[in-house]
Structure formats: structure tokens, C-alpha cells
Amino acid sequence: MMTTTTTTTTTMRATMGGTAHPMRMMTTRRDDAAHSARASSRVAVVVRASGGAKPRALVSVSDKRAMTDLAKGLVDLGYDIVSTGGSAKAIEAAGVRVTSVDAVTGFPEMLDGRVKTLHPGVHGGILAKREDASHMAAIAKHNIDTIDVVCVNLYPFRETVSAGGDFAQCVENIDIGGPAMIRAAAKNHPHVYVVVDPDDYSKLVEHLKSKPSAADDLKFKKMLAWKAFQHCASYDSVVSEYLWSQIGEGAPAPELSVPMTLTAALRYGENPHQPAAVYADGSLAEAAGEGVARSIQHHGKEMSYNNYLDADAAYGCACDYPTSDPTCVIVKHTNPCGIASASGASGDLLEAYRMAVRADPISAFGGIVAFNCTVDADMAREIREFRSPTDGETRMFYEIVIAPSYTPEGLEVLKGKSKTLRILETKPRQGATKSLRQVGGGWLEQASDTLVPEDITFEPVSDVKPTAEQLEALKFAWRAVKHVKSNAITVATTGRLLGMGSGQPNRVNSVRIALEKAGDEAQGAVLASDAFFPFAWGDSVEIACQAGVKAIAHPGGSMRDQDAIDVCNKYGVALVTTGHRHFRH
């Protein structure tokens, strides 16, 4: 089954101000230089408050941000600090007295540091229930002191994999003792504060200073415990994903979890009565940090649920066109209503933008504009000033402009269009990715549709063969139809979409809509279909031919393919098959 997890660090950003950071733990060590450096970065801080003794805290961190401030803050509150390696040196250098973990356990580390905190002297102190006399008697019998604060980061496994580490290096960076301490402390949260995020150190110190009520203290500890368990769950999800990638041979994983980090709580979902949020995918497959969910917003109103869907559709379509041919895409309700490339406008991207608007200016108004190239000042001015072709007076209004980059001047010019215009910047997603979609009671997984015209052969099957210009136009139309909701039809000429028909229950109606949008320009144009034509005579193919379309592309594979060929032969129209379907639901 599939479970979806939310990473502790960023989810807490919404509730406790936390941020995602690379974590690691204290128990895993190696004897090589890198491992020694990692080992020396760990700190253990133990806090005890039983029997009137000074409280102790165990801190074991690789991310040392605010580490010394935490140690000082705890000492000022009367806590003893226990630490190890380079972290201990750093704390000592800051003028804070520290005690070795070895002194706590009475046992030296072993197995190149793999076993260090996996010891009753540590876990007994963390897990003992203070209200249970038998627990307290048991740890007293073995001279084990309680531990009331556990601050732990985990080894940077994700970072090691993303940096291209080999299998041995990656496995060595799987944390063992750290998750054990985190989970133990989180389980015993009525008695132990567990902190996994450096951004929470100051919150812990301030909380302790405030002398909270029992109810407020327990609430705070529960929040820290939730964050701790979620942190371990997300960490384990990435480890599992990596190991399956090494042995799965491309098969679906028998079990799957996806770590997600809360990016923002949205005003509402598709409709005002639906609560909503947006998450960034923390899986290794998305380690490059590309895509709309991770975009930088330079300007404008906060993004809505529908804004994210439309921006993703627009940018995905724009990035499907080669960067060697700068392209503008305009989307409304996730369907491209205008597409034009510089190649269809004598190399003029400004004119390509105008062409994209003219394809359907009514739909383009209030839509999303996406580019696969840098937006400069000239392009920004054109977006800001261009008038709607419907009346020649009204400035075009857009919800979002999204591009891979902007020139500084272009960004400033574009900001002047409207206070509400959302200006997004993000890197295009590269390579094959996995697509997950929820259905009632489960999830569907598939590889994303990354097929482009360069990957296939356009096979002529009619008597008339497409000209070189028509073939280029067919490739443009076929690239566009992939991004239109099925049943999908696009009518185009070289580098320019003239009309599209989308989302109709039958293909012939999509053909009629696309031809209507294209108008007189359908004469001599080309047409692409996302799937084969089930009927030809008196249906989609003949209607297109009668409208003046001169070349058609479809996947082929229908039992009536010969009818489509015969119709095209009758009208002198070129017909090609692609051998690939582009359904989009």
C-alpha cells in the first residue's frame, strides 16, 4: 500500500517555525577521514531532573547551527551537557562545561563508532517512566540517570545519495542510533523533550524559561514528539526509495511512502468550501528541486490551488518545446488555448506571444502565460501593454507569468503590470518522472508522459506525402495535443496553434471545436489527434478534410484505419501515423 508522509521540519514551519535541514545521528561511525569528520560533529546533551539532581540533556547533531547557543541556554537553566567528538570541542570552546558520552555509558564506542549510544545507560535514561516506581528502581539499580532532553540530527543520507555517493557510502550514511534515540524520546514524551530541528532550539529554551503549566508543557512535548516521529518516517522513506532503486529493476515497489514538506496552507481548494495546502515532494526522484511546487514567487497575490494546477499545465507544455525554439504557451483551466514558437514568427518571440494570444483571445484573458526561455524587458513590456485582439483597447489580464528566468529589468517591468500578477520562476523538470494520482481508497502510479516528436517516427500512410513544412507543423501540433485534455485535437501551422478541441466525450466534437477556433486559417493547416479515429467517413477525418486541412497525424491502430486512409486519399490529404497515443485525463 502507499502512505503519504509529511516531513517534520517544514510542516512545523507552519506550526512551530521549523525549517528542513540535513540531519544525522551519533551512533554510526567509520574510521576513514570523512567518517571521522562526521563522528566529530556529533554532540550529546543529556538532561536529568530526578531525585533533585541537575537535569541532563543528550544532544547529538551534525547540523551545528545554534548548537552552542542551545548548550549555553541549557547550562544557564541548570542543565549538565554531555557531548562527543568535534561537537564537544565546539561547545567547550564556547566556554561550556561538557561530559563525554563514554562517561555516561561506561563503555567505549566500538565497530568504528557504529555502536556508541546504543546502550542501556542512554536508552534506560530516556525511556524510564518517572511515575513508575519499578522503572525508577530499575535504572537506580544500574546507576542510570534520567535523560529529559534529547536533541538529535540524523546523518545526511539524502545529501549523500544526491551528491552521487556509491552504494557503500550511502549505506554508511544510514543512521541507526539517532532514530533509536529520537523514537525513544518521542515515545516517552510526557517526560522527555525531543528536538530534531535546530530552529526549535530557541523555542525549547524559551519554553523552559517560561515555567509552563503542566497542560501547556505536555502540549509542547506532544508537538515535538509528532515532529520527531515524522522526521524519522520521512528519513526512512528516502532510505527505502534508494534501496528499492538498487534492487527493484524498475518494478513498482511493493510498499511506497512519499515524504512531503508543507510549502503553504492555501486559502482554499478548487472551491472556497474546500480547505487546501501545497506540499513539496521530498523523495529522491525530486531531489533536483524543479517544478511549480518549488517555484520562486517574485510578485503578486498568494498562489491558489487552481493557480498551481494551471501554472503546472502551462509550464509543462512550454518546457516540452525545445529551448532552441523560444515558445510561449497560454493556458486556461489546464488546457493550452494558445501556443506559438519563435520559429513560426520569423524568429520574433514578441510576435510569437501575440500569436499565442490571437489563437483564442477570449480564453487567454485571465489565463496563465508560460515561457521556455528568459523573459527580458522587451517581452515584459509586450505582456504589460498588449491589447486584446477582441477590441484592440483592453490590456490583456493574466493570473500568472512563469518562466525559467527573468532579466532584472524584465522582472521590474513585469511587476509594473499589476499588483496582483503572480510572477513565478522555476527550473524545468528534466527527465522521466513518476506520476501519482489519488483515486478512492488508493493511488495510481505511472511514468510521466515524456514522449516528444524527436522520439518517434511519423509514418506516411496515404498516397499524398506531407511536405517538409507540413511535417514540421505536424510535429508542433502533436507536441501540443499531448497537453490537451482528451478527447484532444489541435489544428496548427508551422510554429503556431490555430485552434484546439478538448475534453469532449466524442472525438468528432473536439474536431469541430478545433476547426471553429481555427476559422479560415484551417485552410492549408495540419491537424493532430491524441488517439486514433474510430470513424472516418462523415466523421472526424472527412470533416477535417472538407475544412481544408492538408495533413493529419494520429496514432493509428483502429480497426478502421483503412477508412481514414481512403478518406485522405479522396481529398488529397497527407495522413501519418505516430504509433503512440497521448491520452490525458
Same domain, 512 and 370: no
Q: Give CA–CA dist 501/507, Å, rounded.
A: 9
Same domain, 236 and 314: no
Active site residue 123: no
In a domain, 286, yes or no: no
Active site residue 580: no
pLDDT in tens, the chain (585 residues): 444 444 433 333 333 333 333 333 333 333 333 443 343 344 343 444 444 478 989 988 888 889 889 989 999 999 988 877 777 778 889 898 888 878 888 787 778 778 777 888 888 989 999 888 999 888 889 888 889 999 988 989 999 998 899 999 999 889 888 899 999 999 999 999 999 999 999 999 999 999 999 999 999 999 999 999 999 999 999 999 999 999 998 898 998 999 999 999 999 999 999 999 999 988 888 887 788 999 999 999 999 999 999 999 999 999 999 999 999 999 999 999 999 999 999 999 999 999 999 999 999 999 999 999 999 999 999 999 999 999 999 999 999 999 999 999 999 999 999 999 999 999 987 765 788 889 999 989 888 888 899 999 999 999 999 999 999 999 999 999 999 999 999 999 999 999 999 989 999 999 999 999 999 999 999 999 999 989 889 899 999 999 999 999 999 999 899 999 999 999 999 999 999 988 888
In a domain, 35, yes or no: yes
Radius of gyration of the chain (CA): 30
Q: Give CA–CA dist 555/490, Å, rounded.
A: 14
Same domain, 204 and 68: yes
Contacts of 12 (CB under 8 A, 6+ apart): 18, 197, 199, 200, 223, 227
Domain with residue 115: its CATH number is 3.40.50.1380
In a domain, 281, yes or no: no
In a domain, 137, yes or no: yes
Q: Give CA–CA dist 499/27, Å, rounded.
A: 63
**H-helix or E-strand spanning residue 500:** strand 496-501
Catalytic site residue from 64, 89, 187, 415: 187
Q: Give CA–CA dist 352/126, Å, rounded.
A: 66
Residue with cell 494551471: 310
Q: Give CA–CA dist 581/507, Å, rounded.
A: 14
Cell, residue 392? 484592440
Same domain, 60 and 166: yes
- Prediction pTM value: 0.84
pLDDT at 480: 96
Helix ranges (H only) for 28-100 are 33-40, 67-76, 85-93
Q: What is the SS3 assignment for 165?
A: coil
Domain that holds residue 573: 453-577
Catalytic site residue from 298, 333, 415, 580: 333
Domain with residue 513: its CATH number is 3.40.140.20
pLDDT at 431: 61
Task: Give burial (CB, 10 Å; 0-12/13-18/19+) of 545.
Answer: buried
Same domain, 383 and 465: no
Same domain, 403 and 519: no
Residue 237 near residue 3 (C-beta atoms within 8 A): no
Beta strands in 267-334 (DSSP E): 276-281, 296-299, 327-332
Number of domains into which the chain is organized: 3
Q: What is the DSSP secondary structure assignment for residue 51, as one 8-state letter?
A: T
Same domain, 381 and 474: no
In a domain, 273, yes or no: no
In a domain, 561, yes or no: yes
Q: Give CA–CA dist 150/221, Å, rounded.
A: 12
In a domain, 265, yes or no: no
Same domain, 415 and 469: no
In a domain, 120, yes or no: yes
